[in-house]
Structure 1
Amino acid sequence: MKRLARNPRLKITVVSAERSDERDPMAERDLSRDLAGAGVSLHVFEKRVAPAARTARPPLLKRVLSPMHLAWDVLRLRRLAFRFAREHRPCVIHARSYIAAWAALGVRRRELCRLVFDPRGALPEELAAAQGWAADSRRYLWWRDLERRLLRGADTVIAVSEPMAAHFAERADVSPVVIRNCVDLERFSPGTRTPAPGAPLRLVFLVGVDVPYQASELALTLRRAVAAGWPAGAILRVITPDADAMRARLGSPEVNCDSLARDAIPAALAESDLGVLVRDSTVGSLVACPVKFPEYLAAGLPVLATRGIGEVDAILRDRGVGVSLDPSATSEWPRHLAPLLARLTSQREELRQSARRAAEEIFAWEHSLPLLEHAYGLWR
């Protein structure tokens, strides 16, 4: 955002939606001050509905209340969008979620500004996987219809991967521009650690929001497969905001769960040997571009991933910086891991540099900012 704001033709206002019980006033002040230094203003939109109203209620009551809470949040966000439109006269609204795009669609039609829909994922499929909805479920079909209206109503659609672009093109006959989830290369530096055969390998697994399709349990299976091929075994470290919940979910002494500040994550990656990326095989995974993937690469880590996650398979294969594993054939994992484990001692520096180079050539903001400026219509 700060790099984008360097363009003299842009004046940026960020509206960030936060849950009332998760707000951190000190962090918000620091972020606001940091962005203000780059000429970006921050406005926090507080979701007034407590998360418990959406999750910790009997199923019947939840089914009744959830749509009401959602409609109330959207109504308030739409009113805010119209107020901002009157005060700031924006030429572009960049909606970075389905809800934001839903609220902004009316503003786009009335104020004649451009709407950039940046969904970040295939939400109907993600909700179906998380909630267990069937393909003919009314809730799933409602979200899919909303998605189609947002895709067709936007001036530009952003996809985070080529598979996502193909998915949206098939669903709504649109032509998305692909802007991958990029990484701030200045935050990450490849470590100098070379694993010795007499020491256990250090695996690291970054988990932001632990949703069901994250398949965190597969990380334990992966640790065992690595340990089977390394003389001193392997240690798995999971870094997640809610370490206690993750520890309870995995319920295994084989894993260390930590909560780290954002600024401490690059150092934790530099001290590791392998990055872990596991997800269930769903449509949401097939179109995804997990942020942790370029972060692993920027830190010089080879990546162990399950198949069917966006463009991860192709990048690992073409760049030789990791292994994609079939989640339905876990018994074969040790055999597929053996060549990479052998390279960790004999070609560790080559692996480190190849991973970093992949991050620089595929996931650097310098490649994506011109595409984003074009989506904003600055080149017209």
Structure 2
Amino acid sequence: MTPTLYLTRNGLLEPLGQSQVMAYLRGLSRDHAITLITYEKDEDRADSARMAAARAECEALGIRWLPQRFQPQPKVIAPALSMLRMVWLVRREVRARRVRLIHARSYIPAAVAMAVSRMTGVPFIFDMRALWPEELITAGRLRRGSFLHRRIVAAERICLRRAAGVVSLTHAAAEHLRRIYPEELKDQRLVVIPTCADLDRFGPAASPPPRRVIGCLGTMLSGWFRVDWLRAFLEAGLRRDPTLEIELTTRDDPGRLREVLGPELAERLVIAPARPDEVPSVLQDQFASVMFFTDGLGKVGSSPTRMGEILGCGLPVVANEGVGDVARIIREYRVGILVRSAAPQDMETAWVELEALLTDPDLAARCRSAAEAVFSLSAGTDSYRRLYADILGGKPGNVAEDHQECAD
């Protein structure tokens, strides 16, 4: 068993912590003695039953879990202080556990892993998850060319060069990175692994849902979700079918979400969070799910977690162009509708196309097949396992073709 440290600023009790961290570690822990460092939000830490259950699962898998407190405030200062403590914590664990590989999920953990790697010589994986600086700019949280932006981009460049391996969520982002960082990635291991879904949990309903429910899953107030498109699409749907039911499954504040979506929809919305184990049954009660994101460079690296889960349940996706590999997957597998704009006529057209698609008797099976081909958790875990082996075995870089990528 190889001592390995997995570092993420997400919480294990968050939906992403379960679907995009723990889901992989269940498989990887068979070959690696994993120390897992996560950052849990106060509301999750307060749920003693779920914390105990997560700890029990980690212990059963042989994972040594070190949950830390996530402190988002004050802005800039809190992440900086968190990084300093993270460096100390990771360095301590690397030396005490004789760790041979650090898996850093996203940019701040990668910067920490790079610093510790320089101190100890232990290699690290830069698991990018997305193009974070571009996402921050798109969300209005960062100004291009600002001091902070320049520092983040400099860290990105150094991490790409010094990492023992790099993981991108999308082929579109991998192509972009090779264009702007040709020297840094010349001999680098660069593997594409989308946000995979546990398709043993996300499966089609046994029978068609009794109600006509359109859904939307995940955060909608992130700054990069197109709430105006969602509003226009739902309004068009209600014009065509006044009996249409709308379920928004999210941890977003319901009052604020109703306010943003407007008074015409406010009373028609069912807004509620769902635990990770509840999400499959929520999706199985719907006939389609909507995901509209801002496009452009900020979303080139995005692989929406919800897409694999939706398709796994046999549901088509209503989406827009310009988000990672989403449009390519929808076109290649014919598993959804691509909406052109928020204009009423384009939303009406989208509903006509969706209703026609729903008459296809092979749609559910095709959605499921697409999920298995692109978003399989087992394929994603195998890709990570091979990357670990390549690094620990000292094989040369630039081996992306040798990996069975989820999106083949």
For normalisation by structure 2, the TM-score amounts to: 0.82
Alignment pair present for 1:168 and 2:182: no
Alpha-carbon shift at residue 132 of structure 1 (Å): 5.3
Aligned residues between the structures: 358
Structure 1 letter corresponding to 2:249? I
Structure 2 partner of 1:331: 345
Give the letter for the 1:99 counterpart: I
Verify: 1:236 aligned to 2:246, yes or no. yes
Calculate the TM-score normalised by the size of structure 1: 0.87
Is 1:309 matched with 2:323?
yes
Give per-residue Cα distances to partners, 1:94-121, cap 9 Å, x unaligned: 0002111111112212222221001211
Q: Structure 2 counterpart of 1:121, which letter? A: A
Q: Does 1:352 align with 2:364?
A: yes
- Tell me by how many angstroms 1:195 deviates: 6.9
Q: What is the CA-CA distance between 1:21 and the residue it aligns to?
A: 5.7
What's the CA shift for 1:134? 3.8
Structure with the greater relative contact order (CA < 8 A, sep ≥ 6): 1 or 2? Answer: 2
Q: Aligned partners of 1:94, 1:209: CA distance in 2, in Å?
A: 29
Contact between 1:270 and 1:299, CA under 8 Å: does it hold in 2? Answer: yes
Q: Which amino acid aligns with 1:13?
A: T
- Indicate the percent of aligned positions where both proteins have the same amino acid: 25
Distance 1:145 1:328, change over 3 A: farther
Q: 1:343 to 1:290 in 2, by over 3 A?
A: closer
Distance of aligned partners of 1:253 and 1:130 in 2 relative to their CA distance in 1, 3 Å threshold:
same
Equivalent in 275, 285, 303 of residue 299 of structure 2? 285
Distance 1:22 1:236 in 2: 27
CA shift, 1:258, in A, is 1.1
Per-residue CA shift, 1:218-237, capped at 9, x if unaligned?
Answer: 21211223344x44553221
- Structure 1 residue 91 and structure 2 residue 114: aligned? no
Secondary structure of the residue that 2:283 maps to in structure 1?
helix
**Contact 1:220–1:255 (8 Å) recurs in 2:** no
Q: CA RMSD in A?
A: 2.2
Superposed, 1:49-198 pairs within 5 Å as 49=71, 51-54=72-75, 66=76, 68-131=77-140, 133-173=142-182, 174=185, 175=188, 176-194=190-208
Deviation track 1:284-334 (CA, whole Å, cap 9, x = no partner) reads 222210100001001110110011111111111111111111235552232
**Does structure 2 conserve the Cα–Cα contact (< 8 Å) formed by 1:193 and 1:271?**
no
1:6 matched to 2:30: yes
Quick one: structure 1 residues 343 and 106, their matched pair in 2 at CA, closer, same or farther if it must change by over 3 Å? closer
> Pick from 216, 225, 237: which aligns with 2:236?
225
State the 1:135 CA deviation: 2.7
Q: List aligned pairs for 1:255-294, cutoff 5 A.
A: 255-294=269-308
The residue identity in structure 2 corresponding to 1:235 is E
Q: Check conservation: 1:223, 1:235, Cα contact below 8 A.
A: no
Contact 1:235 1:254 (8 Å CA) reproduced? yes
Equivalent in 28, 37, 61 of residue 15 of structure 1:
37
Any conservation in 2 of the 1:217–1:250 contact (CA below 8 Å)? yes
In the superposition, relative to structure 1, how do residues 260 and 119 fare at CA in structure 2: closer, same or farther (>3 Å)? same
* Structure 2 unaligned regions, length at least 5: 1-24, 394-408
| CA displacement at 1:262 relative to structure 2 | 1.8
Give how far 1:191 is off. 1.6
Change (3 A) 1:151 1:94: same
Q: Which runs of 5+ in 1 are unaligned?
A: 55-65
Q: Distance in 1 between matches of 2:242 and 2:258?
A: 24
**Deviation at residue 39 of structure 1 after TM alignment:** 1.6
Compared with structure 1, are the counterparts of its residues 354 and 117 closer, same or farther at alpha carbon in structure 2 (3 Å cutoff)?
same
Q: Give 1:215's aligned residue.
A: 226
